[in-house]
Amino acid sequence: MSRLSLFPDLDAPPGPRIDEAALRAEVRDFVARATRDGLIRPGRQTWTTFSREFSRACAAQGYIGMTWPRRFGGHERDPFERYVVCEELLAAGAPQGAHWIADRQSGPQILRNGTAALQAEVLPRIAAGDCTIGIGMSEPDSGSDLSSIRSRAEPVAGGYRVTGRKIWTTNAQHADYVIALVRTAPRGEDRYAGLSQLVVPMRSEGITVRPLRDLRGEEELNEITFDAAFVPQANLLGAEGDGWRLVNEELAFERSGPDRILSSFGLLAMLVHAVGPMPDRLAAAEIGRLAARLDATRALSLAINRRLAAGLPTGALAPMMKDLGTEFEQEVPEVARRLLDLRPSETGSEIEGALATAILGAPSFSLRGGTREILRGIIARELGLR
């Protein structure tokens, strides 16, 4: 079967004309300054590392909310320009945890489905680098099977009271808001009905956050308990009961960007530098294979992003891209281990630090944002194979 008959949606609308080289040069200059100022520490951080200072520096440069309307603090630039900036910052291993989720998916979600009051309250703060948002989807007994969540919102005067637990919420301890998927009606025949998304202000009473330590010893992940926490009516996204559709829309943004390809890019760049301009045959073959996969996956990611920007459906493409991208990210530390005689060490040289960070982070690449098995199930369904 030809590629086109399998994936009729692959061809994206043509890309815009922008001066890509000039933009990349501008971002690289920004990265060099941020590295000199100690805001970026190569090999020692990941893109989920929280740094308010770095996010404010990004905002001052116009790198947050790049495509959003100016009236919300955005910059009305083209989605491809945003893609280029994201690539450069990810490749540099910049710590974007204070704004990444808000810029990638929560802001766009509020822009598309938020009330006017919520948009005015939240979007300018995100664009200024002053607002962190968490993803409140997973629960202790509901990860892959997201529709089985039990957190619930009861209607009260002026809004809702939310009760329940969320888990694995990245950077929740710093979050100003968490977009929580909750039940607004009991589970019935249709398991996807009766779900809604609420933008929960994390400073409300009745919310406790407990950090969870990961393999790297970092405490980026958290458990949140909501005990009748109040959420204003204006913080409902879309209509009550729209939650399942909205969550899936959001996940297409979460599963198709350069952050699903470039988590170990810093290590790959260091590896290429370490083997030098005359690598032996094994190194040339291994690195060549990685480079080819990087290029092909990036082309798919770009095509999806153009489709998302044009409001077109992406079907199986986003889960496919995340599966391919995270496999690549996981293979980079394996190849580095095979080619170089290095001892991974978070306190060693830059490359030893990058290797340690990539090895310890790699198992999570194919869990966060949906596991490999779940993505492959969605791909099979989209292709009509199950």
Ligand X SMILES: Cc1cc2nc3c(=O)[nH]c(=O)nc-3n(C[C@H](O)[C@H](O)[C@H](O)COP(=O)(O)OP(=O)(O)OC[C@H]3O[C@@H](n4cnc5c(N)ncnc54)[C@H](O)[C@@H]3O)c2cc1C
Phi, psi dihedrals of residue 45, rounded to the nearest 5° = -135, 170
The contact mask relative to ligand X for 209-248 (x = CB under 6 A, - = no) is ------------x---------------------------
The CB-of-121 to ligand X minimum distance in angstroms stands at 22
Give 340 or 374: the residue with its C-beta nearer to ligand X. Answer: 374
For the chain, helix (H) and strand (E) counts, in that order, are 13, 8
- Cβ contacts of 138 within 8 Å, gap of 6 or more: 146, 166, 167, 168, 169
Asked if 137 interacts with ligand X (CB under 6 A), we say yes
Asked if 68 interacts with ligand X (CB under 6 A), we say no
Give 222 or 297: the residue with its C-beta nearer to ligand X. Answer: 222
The CB-of-373 to ligand X minimum distance in angstroms stands at 3
CB 358 within 8 A of CB 340: no
Contacts of residues 275-282 at CB distance under 8 Å and 24 or more positions apart, as own/partner, are: 275/339, 275/340, 282/339
Total site size for ligand X, rule CB under 6 A: 19
CB 282 within 8 A of CB 113: no
The contact mask relative to ligand X for 162-191 (x = CB under 6 A, - = no) is ------xxx---------------------
* Cβ neighbour number for residue 3 with a 10 Å cutoff: 8
Asked if 99 interacts with ligand X (CB under 6 A), we say no
With tokens 């950090």, the residue in question is 211
The CB-of-367 to ligand X minimum distance in angstroms stands at 4
Extract the tokens encoding 113.
């489905």
The CB-of-242 to ligand X minimum distance in angstroms stands at 18
Asked if 368 interacts with ligand X (CB under 6 A), we say yes
Name which position in 46, 55, 132, 138 contacts ligand X (CB under 6 A): 138
Asked if 55 interacts with ligand X (CB under 6 A), we say no
Radius of gyration of the CA atoms of the chain, in A = 21
Give 84 or 247: the residue with its C-beta nearer to ligand X. Answer: 247
With contacts defined by CB under 6 A, name the span among 73-81, 130-138, 238-246, 300-308 that binds ligand X.
Answer: 130-138
| Identity at 77, one-letter amino acid code | R
Asked if 373 interacts with ligand X (CB under 6 A), we say yes
Tell me the residue nearest to ligand X as measured from the CB: 143
Asked if 143 interacts with ligand X (CB under 6 A), we say yes
Pairing mode, if any, of strands 221-232 and 207-212? antiparallel
Give 151 or 297: the residue with its C-beta nearer to ligand X. Answer: 151
The CB-of-304 to ligand X minimum distance in angstroms stands at 20
Q: Cα(139)–Cα(120) distance, rounded to whole angstroms?
A: 30
Name which position in 121, 370, 378, 382 contacts ligand X (CB under 6 A): 370
Angle at 263 between CA 9 and CA 78, to 5 degrees: 50
Task: Classify the phi-psi angles of 357: left when phi > 0, otherwise alpha if psi is within -120 to 50, otherwise beta.
Answer: alpha
Query: Residue 4 class from Cβ within 10 Å (0-12 exposed, 13-18 middle, 19+ buried)?
Result: exposed
With contacts defined by CB under 6 A, name the span among 63-71, 122-130, 258-266, 373-381 that binds ligand X.
Answer: 373-381
Give 62 or 143: the residue with its C-beta nearer to ligand X. Answer: 143
Extract the tokens encoding 263.
């988590």
Pairing mode, if any, of strands 152-156 and 133-136? unpaired
With contacts defined by CB under 6 A, name the span among 54-62, 67-75, 325-333, 368-376 that binds ligand X.
Answer: 368-376
The CB-of-344 to ligand X minimum distance in angstroms stands at 19
Angle at 131 between CA 125 and CA 133, to 5 degrees: 130
Asked if 367 interacts with ligand X (CB under 6 A), we say yes
For residue 47, give the nearest of 214, 262, 254, 216 by alpha carbon: 262
Asked if 196 interacts with ligand X (CB under 6 A), we say no
Extract the tokens encoding 66.
């790049």
Window 332-361: residues binding ligand X (CB under 6 A): none
Give 57 or 326: the residue with its C-beta nearer to ligand X. Answer: 326
Residues that bind ligand X (CB under 6 A): 134-138, 143-144, 168-170, 221, 364, 367-368, 370-371, 373-374, 377
